[in-house]
Amino acid sequence: MALFTGNYNYIKDGVALTLNRLVAFLLKRGIPVLIFAPTGPAPAFESVGELVSVPSFPIPTRSEYRIATGFPKAAQQRLKEFRPTLIHIAVPDVVGYRALKIAERWGIPAVASYHTRYDTYLRFYGLGVFEKLGQKYLRHFYNRVRRVYPPSQSMADIIRSQGQSQQVEVWARGVDSELFSPDKRDMAWRRMLGIADDEVAVSFVGRLVKEKNTGITVRVLNMLRQKGLKLRPVIVGDGPEMAAMKAALPDAAFVGFLHGDELARAYASSDIFFFPSESETFGNVTLEAMASGLPAVNAISSGSNSLVVDGDTGFLVSARDEAGLAARIETLARDEALRKRMGGAARQRALTFSWDAILSGLVESYRQVLREAAAEKHGR
């Protein structure tokens, strides 16, 4: 299989980690994989598999991300030598489109995974005027692949309703339930951050960027602060909105970007997870928080809707209803028994998301695509 993506190792985000996990799974089962993606000056982590770099440049307003500019002859030759039987496109960018054209020209079946709500990104950066044009392109792109793999049923419904594709199968995400566990709770770590034992720690985890609704996060947490609740925000992550958030939340604990055991400890040492982002197609951080035994208060969105069971494992509220978000957090902050009950239910729900089962299902879908392509080629 040849995999084309916009980021594989230069930023340690959810998409890159998911794709690395997929490649590791395939390689372990003897399935050859070749990856094509932009690369930065230095990788953020050691990636899995053979990575062929394609030309790119940093986005002017978001220099941590890169835009691919082409698919040079040397990369095309490497692809030709590799002789893939399947092409998987993770981003419908310039290189993704070139990969689609090559797949069509060479008669190789192509599939695509759906990781990002590009329409919401346009709105956050003052480019909402291009939303309809963007949706037209997505329909043009995704209707030409044999399968589109969104990570949630709610996102699958959106793809179908917008006419982007009818050949849609959910490729959910899993969670390491041994790493992310309530057992990682560490009161000494909380005290080190200045969080009193009787304070309720409300955590936000993710890139500190506008499209994660950091503005809403700040306003809601300040509403709660004004109520005089014994509550302490814990902000896990980094990004261009860090300075603004620090200025607006002077009492919050900003712990920066964490991973592995440190991240697991931060989740489990919190009491409530708060995530008002609408841009996720799934929400890996929400699932990790749930596995850590936290009730979640999330914005209604294509990702959260498939994870949080409203009134059971947490609450779902419109991102436009900031007072409603604050009220749900306040309810949990004032009721320890409710927090524990919902946190336990969240943990049990998270345990149903097994990586092995999920990735095995994706591989079976790949095989079905190959069977369909072979049958069409032989006129059956």
CA-closest candidate to residue 22, choices 10, 40, 8: 8
| Helices 131-142, 94-106: crossing angle, 10 deg rounding | 30
Alpha carbon distance 40, 20 (integer Å):
17
Alpha carbon distance 256, 258 (integer Å):
6
Mean pLDDT within 227-253: 96
- Which pLDDT band, with edges at 50, 70 and 90, does 214 fall under? very high
pLDDT at 127 over 70: no
pLDDT at 130: 62
Mean pLDDT within 265-289: 93
Which residues on neighbouring strands pair with residue 231, listed in sequence order? 200
Alpha carbon distance 241, 235 (integer Å):
12
- Which pLDDT band, with edges at 50, 70 and 90, does 281 fall under? confident
The most confident of 12-16, 62-66, 86-90, by mean pLDDT: 86-90
CA 227 centroid distance within chain: 33
Mean pLDDT within 74-78: 97
- For tokens 């500190």, name the residue: 208
CA atoms within 13 A on the CB side of 167: 18
Element housing 221 (H / E): helix 214-226
- Which pLDDT band, with edges at 50, 70 and 90, does 306 fall under? confident
CB-CB contact of 98 with 48 (8 Å): no
CB-CB contact of 324 with 317 (8 Å): yes
CB-CB contact of 317 with 296 (8 Å): no
Determine which of 62-76, 108-122, 145-159 has the lowest per-residue pLDDT on average: 108-122
pLDDT at 122: 55
Determine which of 20-24, 70-74, 144-148, 224-228 has the lowest per-residue pLDDT on average: 224-228
This prediction has a pTM of 0.81
The amino acid sitting at 76 is: Q
pLDDT at 117 over 90: no
pLDDT at 41 over 80: yes
- Which structural domains are found in the chain, ordered by start? 2-174+355-377 (3.40.50.2000), 182-350 (3.40.50.2000)
- Which pLDDT band, with edges at 50, 70 and 90, does 96 fall under? very high
As a whole-number percent, the residues of the chain with pLDDT over 70 amount to: 96
Calculated CA dihedral for residues 101, 79, 37, 52, nearest 10 degrees: -160
Alpha carbon distance 155, 73 (integer Å):
36
